[in-house]
Amino acid sequence: MSAPTRTLSLPQARPSAIDWQAGETALIVVDMQNGFLKPGGYFDQVGYDLAHAPGTIERVQRTVAAARAAGMLVVYIQSGFDAKHLVVGGPSAPVWHKSEAQVLMRERPELAYQLITEGTWDYELVDELTPADGELVVRKSRYSAFAGTPLDQVLRARRVRNLVLCGVAANVCVESTLREAYHREYFCLLIEDATHHAGPAYLREATLWNVERFFGWVAPVAGLEAACDD
């Protein structure tokens, strides 16, 4: 992919306007998978409200379209476990205790190796978001997309220094990824209405406040679209 020289200007970004080069910017689409967004999937089994899902998917589609129009690198993150769950590590690993998928699969043996596990429907990206040629998919087994993955190397090899993030869940995997990106010296923009939380609504507000105050910038999909259409 040739690096565009166009400038992405978002005057309405919070807490201040940003001007980034598209060729130095990547869109990180976090965990837009059946398990997190579709009836019968992992989040549905746990009991999370999926009423937001169609709207969230539509706004992420718009975010991807804007990024493509600007010539930005698009990276999809897939969260979950290998087919045998070797990456989980067992009771000695925090993820064994804190992953709701792992806990639910132990509580309900009929779900064993079915939730966000490679090779299952639950693990796949939603049909509405199909990576195009040249777009990347990075698989992770922890909340942050940098943990145990080649994401940092993939981005640095392409001289990316700015990240636009969207997806699910705002207060878990999206925020974990964004925080770690900050500590790796990336500038980060969270697309607030193309990102949804897990749990009470105040968690989304807390994430937006944290990002705007401490870790990066926040803007709506429409702001990114306007920047990419200029």
* Secondary structure of 59-89 in HEC code, one letter for each residue: HHHHHHHHHHHHCCEEEEEEECECCCCCCCC
Distance CA 56, CA 180 (A): 24
Token readout for 102 is 């792992």
> CB atoms < 10 A from the CB of 117, how many?
21
Catalytic residues: 31, 140, 173
